[in-house]
Amino acid sequence: MNNNGRKLALGAASLVALLAISGGLTFFLLRKSNAFANLPAFPLDSYMEGGKLWSHEDYRLAGRVDNVIMRSSSGEKLLVVLQPEKSELRIPVVLDKSAGKIPVQREQNLVLKVDLGPTAQIQSKYYETR
Amino acid sequence: MHSAHFLQRSMLVGAGLCLGYVGAGGAQGQVAPGVPVVAPFPVAPEPGQAATAQPGIFNQPVVINTFERVEMERLRIAEELTKTQREDLAFREQVVKLTKKLASSSLSVAAPESIPTDYRTFLSLSEGAIATSQQYYALLKSALNDLTPQSPYLARTKGEGANPQRASATLLSLDRFAEDDGVSRTLRGHLAEFYGGQRDDASRIRGIDGNLAELDREKKQLEFQMRNTEGNNPLSGRPRGTDDDRAAFKERIATVTQSQTQLRQERQSLSHVVTEVQRKLQFQQYIVELAFQQRYIHALIACGFYRGAPSKGDLAINPQAYPSGRGNGPAGGAAGFPTPGAPGNVSMPANEDPFSKLNPTSAIPAASVPVIATVSGMEAFLTNRIRDAIKDREAMDNMLKEKQMSAAEGLLRKMVMTAKYQPELNTIPYGSRQLIHGYGQDMRALTDALQSRDYAEMRQIAKRIEKTGTDAGMKDIELFATEQPSKALYLVRQAELALKASDRKAAQSMTDAAVARAPLEPEVKDAIEKLQNLFLNNSRLAEDLEKVVEAGDYQSAYSRANEFGPLAAQAPDRGLRTKFEMLMEREKNVRAALERCDAFEKRASYADGWLALSNVDAAIAEDARIVRRMSGVMAKCPRFVAAYTKASEHEKAGAHSIALAWYLSALADAPGNTELVDKVNNLGTQVINR
């Protein structure tokens, strides 16, 4: 193979690699934004109005962390103030400390898998950042 | 029920009276040191409105008198009341003493009905009558001088001797004077009998017997004729007479019977013979009677004639010449004479001479004549009486000259009692009488003013009396009249303080005492009127306060705190006081909430402003000012209000998680609000630990 052929092959390989990397990255990103996509969205308005919701039913809730205001006496739970997407409301979410791979902090965008506790509190054991 | 309510209201009014008064300038100098003074309440202007009151610290607690101070004041009022009662007694005693003093200074002070008519007539006698009296007494004195060389009026020497004929003629001329009352004529009649010898009525008795027999015959004839008029005429069959005929006969018979009776009485009175002894005794009796009547000059004239009688030399007076029982009594005694207390003397009952207790000079007994055994002794007694009268007259003239009116009036009274028919008394000039009369009138008016407590009049009259007279000191009267109005005013002010201490009984007693002390004093009247007006005003105020408290109108309670506060503070009804204080607190809370809202609004913290209004007590939550202001603020932060409202609703419903969500949403619009932070903390703790 002459030099031109080798350069051509190297360029093609690089392009393929680039395409592969970008495709993988795209896949990875797409895979994350669609976390808990199979779950129904949390009925925020109904909840805020005190409508009846089934406990132990999982919902998907996405929003920005407004504040972490409290920690449980055991230290296992956090009370997080979440501003749901496209809403000016603030809702409290009881979050397991180990629910996510990275610690929760303010201004973080999260997608949570939530359900309602016995006293209608919103609780989450899984969340992902995005 | 009603009376209790009224009493309570009255006491409330009483409590409030004073506090309004303490502030008044009029009573400032009189407020006792222990009297609590309540400062007016500083009232804050409503937020957003201009302040009308003076700048000060607003919404401060109400200053209420301490229990100790109020009780101390009540004790002081009780002592004051006791003192007032004591002083009232002293006042009455003082009035009695002054009345006695005035009575002792003038006869006219006594009740008019107790003043002898003679005295009053004497003072009111016209000037012309006095001139006539002077003529009469000049003649009388002349008659006396003609008979008695020892006469006190005699200007001649003894050597000139007596002239009974001229005296008798003078007596005759006296009869034309009204003052003589026919005494001189009677005296001449007695003289005629005394000198006339024995009198025989036998011829008259015979004449009467003849007349009686004739009348008896006439009477029998009339009776026969009257009997003939009865029955019918046997011939004609008609009645013999009519009823009118019989009545006419009866009338004639009665007339005859009456004439017979008169003649028999006359015959009986003539069936005696007057002896010389009897004539002497009668004349002596007449002398004594004249002496009793205080007709000393007439009595002396009678004595003079007695000396010239045929029985000259026998100057003894028969004891029977004196009234019954008098001659056998102790010499010089007064029993049986028309002295006070004597039987039959109606005008002067025993121990009831109205002047004897008042005036030593007026307690002169009526004329008394001692039992005297001889005509000479009687003459000496009568002469002394006349000389006394002359001295009294001279003394009285001097007294009038020196303006010793009280003494002059007393002496005049004595002369009226002891020398009623003496020329010295009856020839007192008209001017002198009027001076004494005017003085008596002034004293009478002064006594009336004292009785009616007219102190202004008293002062005026006392000054006038001091100018006209020198012997009746009026300083004590003037001092008394000056002192009483101020004392009465003091009592009225004490009554005000008693009302202040809710002691209505004491206030009433003190007002009564003030009225009794100075009922006509204008200042006292005004003060009492003011007190009554104040009482009425406070009565209305008490009614208003009750209405405000019952209606729970805290806004009115606060705006009229200056009026209601003192009233409520002293109110015996603790419930009313407590309710009023509660209303005051409510209004203060309203005003404080509005003030806080103002402050937040200025910083554009509308949510906090709205919260400041929404968190007020339920009792004032419906207040129109708060509701109106809340509406205004809500328009500026509707999202917060909606969130907070929903949070509260869910919190009340027990949905703590949802409530927390709403509180968190509200907190986003009011960051840092402590109330919301607290709520979030509390609810968050509950939520996270479940």
Among B653, B658, B680, beta carbon nearest to A69: B680
The answer on B190 and B209 residing in a single domain is no
Write the CB contacts of B178 (distance below 8 Å, at least 6 apart in sequence): B132
pLDDT value at B195 more than 80: no
Q: Do B665 and A69 touch (CB under 8 A)?
A: no
The answer on B642 and B536 residing in a single domain is no
Q: Which domain holds residue B147?
A: 117-194+280-328+361-424
- B436 found inside a domain: no
Residues of chain A neighbouring B650 (CB-CB closer than 8 A): 50
Helix (H) / strand (E) element for A112: namely: strand A109-116
The answer on B387 and B248 residing in a single domain is no
Taking the CA atoms of B361, B365, B366 and B370 in sequence, report the sign of the dihedral they define. negative
Mean pLDDT of chain A: 84
Full-model pTM: 0.49
- Flag the least confident range among B64-78, B162-176, B403-417, B562-576: B64-78
Closest listed residue to residue B428, CA positions, set B137, B5, B673: B137
- B373 found inside a domain: yes
Best-predicted range by mean pLDDT among B101-105, B199-203, B220-224, B496-500?
B220-224
Predicted pLDDT of residue B66? 61
The answer on B307 and B176 residing in a single domain is yes
The answer on B176 and B71 residing in a single domain is no
- B415 found inside a domain: yes
Among A72, A81, A122, beta carbon nearest to B657: A122
DSSP states of B343-391: TT-TTS-TT--TTTTT-TTT-PPPP-----SBHHHHHHHHHHHHHHHHH
Among A70, A78, A91, beta carbon nearest to B661: A91
DSSP states of B442-454: HHHHHHHHHHHT-
The answer on B300 and B213 residing in a single domain is no
Each residue's pLDDT tens digit, B308-333: 776 656 788 888 888 765 544 443 33
Among B655, B665, B681, beta carbon nearest to A50: B655
> Residues 611-650, chain B: which have Cβ within 8 Å of A?
639, 646, 650
Closest listed residue to residue B114, CA positions, set B413, B450, B445: B413
Q: What's the CA gap between B323 and B334, in Å, rounded?
A: 11
Q: Give the mutation candidate from A45, A46, A48 for the B interface (greatest B CB count, under 10 A).
A: A48
Q: What's the CA gap between B247 and B578, in Å, rounded?
A: 104
Q: Assess B672–A contact: CB distance below 8 Å, yes or no.
A: no
Q: Do B657 and A77 touch (CB under 8 A)?
A: no
Q: Do B668 and A79 touch (CB under 8 A)?
A: no
The answer on B569 and B676 residing in a single domain is no
The answer on B219 and B301 residing in a single domain is no
Q: Give the mutation candidate from A114, A119, A123 for the B interface (greatest B CB count, under 10 A).
A: A119
Bridge pairing between strands A91-96 and A122-129: parallel
Return the amino acid letter for B483.
E
Which ipTM did the prediction report? 0.79
Instruction: Report the first-to-last Cα separation within chain B, whole angstroms.
Output: 61
| CATH number of the domain bearing residue B650 | 1.25.40
Number of domains making up chain B: 4
Residues of chain B neighbouring A77 (CB-CB closer than 8 A): 688
Predicted pLDDT of residue B389? 94
- Flag the least confident range among B174-188, B195-209, B668-682: B195-209
Q: Give the mutation candidate from B648, B652, B657 for the A interface (greatest A CB count, under 10 A).
A: B657
Q: Which residue has the higher pLDDT, B113 or B223?
A: B223
Average pLDDT estimate for B279-285: 85
How close, in Å, is residue B646 to chain A by CA atoms? 8
Predicted pLDDT of residue A33? 52
- Residue B342 binned pLDDT confidence (cut-offs 50, 70, 90): very low
- Flag the least confident range among B68-82, B190-204, B528-542: B190-204
Q: CB pairs below 8 Å between A and B: how many? A: 64
The answer on B213 and B312 residing in a single domain is no
Predicted pLDDT of residue B367? 53
> CB of B623 within 8 A of CB of B650?
no
Each residue's pLDDT tens digit, B421-463: 899 998 899 889 988 888 888 998 999 999 999 999 999 999 9
Burial B195-214 (b: 16+ CB within 10 A, else e): eeeeeebeeeeeebeeeeee
pLDDT value at B113 more than 70: no
- B20 found inside a domain: yes
How close, in Å, is residue A128 to chain B by CA atoms? 21
- B108 found inside a domain: no
The answer on B658 and B670 residing in a single domain is yes
- B76 found inside a domain: yes
- Residue B271 binned pLDDT confidence (cut-offs 50, 70, 90): low
Among B657, B658, B668, beta carbon nearest to A90: B668
- Flag the least confident range among B101-115, B164-178, B481-495: B101-115
Predicted pLDDT of residue B254? 92
Q: Give the mutation candidate from A73, A89, A95, A116 for the B interface (greatest B CB count, under 10 A).
A: A89
- Residue B335 binned pLDDT confidence (cut-offs 50, 70, 90): very low
Each residue's pLDDT tens digit, B25-64: 333 333 344 444 444 444 445 555 544 444 444 454 544 5
- B431 found inside a domain: no
- Residue B252 binned pLDDT confidence (cut-offs 50, 70, 90): very high
Q: Assess B662–A contact: CB distance below 8 Å, yes or no.
A: yes
Nearest CA in chain A to B663: A90
Residues of chain B neighbouring A61 (CB-CB closer than 8 A): none
The answer on B218 and B141 residing in a single domain is no
How close, in Å, is residue B619 to chain A by CA atoms? 30
Q: Which residue has the higher pLDDT, A107 or B151?
A: A107
Q: Do A48 and B646 touch (CB under 8 A)?
A: yes
Reduced to 3 states, what is the DSSP secondary structure of residue A39?
coil
CA distances from B169 to B13, B166, B174 (A): 91, 5, 9
Six token digits for residue B224? 């026969």
Q: Maximum Cα–Cα distance for chain B, whole Å?
A: 164
- Residue B231 binned pLDDT confidence (cut-offs 50, 70, 90): confident
Nearest CA in chain A to B646: A49
How far, rounded to the nearest angstrom, does the alpha carbon of residue B518 sit from its chain's CA centroid? 12
DSSP states of B291-322: HHTT-HHHHHHHHHHHHTSTTTT--BPPGGGS
Six token digits for residue A111? 């997608």
pLDDT value at B611 more than 50: yes
Q: Which residue has the higher pLDDT, B339 or A23?
A: A23
Predicted pLDDT of residue B185? 83
How close, in Å, is residue A124 to chain B by CA atoms? 12
- B465 found inside a domain: no
The answer on B568 and B627 residing in a single domain is no
Average pLDDT estimate for B509-525: 89
How close, in Å, is residue B668 to chain A by CA atoms? 8
Q: Assess B655–A contact: CB distance below 8 Å, yes or no.
A: yes
Residues of chain B neighbouring A120 (CB-CB closer than 8 A): 655, 657-658
Q: Maximum Cα–Cα distance for chain A, whole Å?
A: 76
Which of B424, B443, B465 represents a domain boundary (last residue)? B424
| Helix ranges restricted to H, chain A | 3-33, 44-48
Which of B577, B595, B613 represents a domain boundary (last residue)? B577
Residues of chain B neighbouring A80 (CB-CB closer than 8 A): none
Each residue's pLDDT tens digit, A31-85: 555 678 888 999 998 899 887 766 668 899 999 999 998 888 888 889 999 999 9
- Flag the least confident range among B109-123, B367-381, B526-540: B109-123
Closest listed residue to residue B593, CA positions, set B585, B581, B603: B585
Q: Do B657 and A70 touch (CB under 8 A)?
A: no
Predicted pLDDT of residue B75? 84
Q: Do A50 and B658 touch (CB under 8 A)?
A: yes
